[in-house]
């Protein structure tokens, strides 16, 4: 009997993740979407929208034990994973001084450790033609003062994903690091912490639907990186040629942080 084909999307209840749900729900090769986030009410609303094709899982992916419990559900399900979208993540705008040690480390737990753990758990259930889509950011192109941990976590995701893409080539599994610029989502509700020295200018703001469509198209083409929009492309190119010290100065001036 054919195994069920599923897509797992983390951070599926909002913003960028919700767009991946919308797009993958149209794929006839996917029998079921597994949507992961913490807030049960938001997940219930999503579930009523997509009915039987969607299963929801309330998991705090920054909590190692909860993640291990979810991993056991994947292992017991005996499914083929066609897509893993590691999208859950967040950043905080401000100085290192504005965040507690717990808050700082939690960003690393979710943006890095959960991405690695989810990938390692899912790969054995993937086959030729399966895709891992890891959400990095334009912030991965350079170090960003006043968004320092966030940009460093996204640099990890970008580098890790590209190297894993090469390692998984012989299995026909692709890994794509998606590097969006600013997108209009609830990201900002969590990021704004009222810090005096903070990120305030959001140049090149776009909507998540366009970026998600490009990311899926790039993954299907087997690209290891997905960059959407002129502004993000320019930043990507600049970061290849300019010293990081210069890129950081540009950033501080653009943000009017002195
Ligand atoms: N928006 C931007 O400008 C932008 C730019 C570049 C990259 N990104 C990246 O895009 C991704 C999605 O962000 P978004 O813009 O769509 O923000 P968002 O609207 O705030 O969505 C974040 C999603 O992640 C889930 N989530 C947060 N913490 C979680 C945890 N500990 N465990 C499980 N799920 C968790 C949230 O649901 P719950 O709160 O219910 O858990 C929500 O579904 C992130 O990785 C972000 O870094 C965003």
> Is pLDDT at 2 greater than 90 in this prediction?
no
Span from the CA of 170 to the centroid of ligand 1 (angstroms): 31
The model's pLDDT over 46-74, given as tens digits with 9 standing for 90+, comes to 999 998 799 999 999 999 999 999 999 99
Span from the CA of 136 to the centroid of ligand 1 (angstroms): 11
All residues at 6 or more sequence positions from 96 whose CB lies less than 8 Å from its CB, including other chains: 104, 148, 149
CA–CA separation, 126 and 131 (whole Å):
8
Q: Which of 41, 90, 134, 212 to mutate to test the pocket of ligand 1 (most atoms within 8 A of CB)?
A: 90
pTM of the model: 0.98
Q: How far is CA 154 from the centre of its chain?
A: 9
* pLDDT value of residue 101: 98
Domain containing 116: what range?
5-254
**H helical segments located in 78-147:** 101-108, 114-122
Q: Which atom of ligand 1 is nearest to the CA of 110?
A: 31
The model's pLDDT over 5-40, given as tens digits with 9 standing for 90+, comes to 999 999 999 999 999 999 999 999 999 999 999 999
Cβ atoms 254, 201 nearer than 8 A: yes
Span from the CA of 69 to the centroid of ligand 1 (angstroms): 21
CATH number of the domain that 140 lies in?
A: 3.40.50.720
Number of domains in the chain: 1
- Residue with CA at minimum distance from ligand 1 atom 41: 38
* pLDDT value of residue 159: 98
The model's pLDDT over 93-103, given as tens digits with 9 standing for 90+, comes to 999 999 999 99
């Amino acid at each position: 009997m054919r195994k069920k084909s599923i897509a797992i999307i983390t951070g599926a209840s909002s913003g960028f993740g919700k767009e991946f749900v919308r797009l993958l729900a149209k794929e006839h090769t996917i029998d079921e979407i597994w949507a992961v986030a913490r807030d049960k009410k938001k997940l219930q609303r999503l579930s009523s929208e997509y009915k039987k094709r969607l299963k929801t899982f309330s998991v705090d992916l920054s909590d190692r034990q909860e993640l291990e419990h979810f991993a056991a559900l994947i292992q017991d399900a005996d499914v083929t994973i066609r897509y893993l979208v590691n999208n859950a993540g967040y950043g905080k705008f401000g100085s290192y001084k504005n965040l507690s040690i717990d808050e700082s480390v939690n960003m690393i737990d979710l943006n890095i450790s959960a991405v690695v753990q989810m990938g390692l758990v899912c790969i054995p259930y993937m086959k030729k033609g399966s895709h891992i889509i890891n959400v990095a950011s334009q912030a991965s192109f350079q170090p960003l003062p006043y968004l320092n941990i966030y940009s460093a976590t996204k640099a990890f995701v970008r580098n890790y994903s590209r190297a894993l893409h090469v390692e998984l080539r012989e299995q026909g599994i692709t890994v794509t690091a998606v590097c969006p610029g600013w997108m209009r989502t609830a990201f900002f509700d969590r990021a704004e912490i009222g810090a005096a020295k903070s990120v305030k200018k959001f140049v090149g703001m776009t909507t998540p639907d366009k970026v998600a469509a490009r990311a899926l198209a790039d993954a299907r083409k087997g690209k290891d990186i997905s960059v959407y929009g002129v502004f993000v492309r320019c930043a990507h190119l600049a970061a290849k040629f300019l010293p990081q010290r210069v890129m950081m100065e540009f950033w501080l001036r653009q943000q009017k942080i002195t």
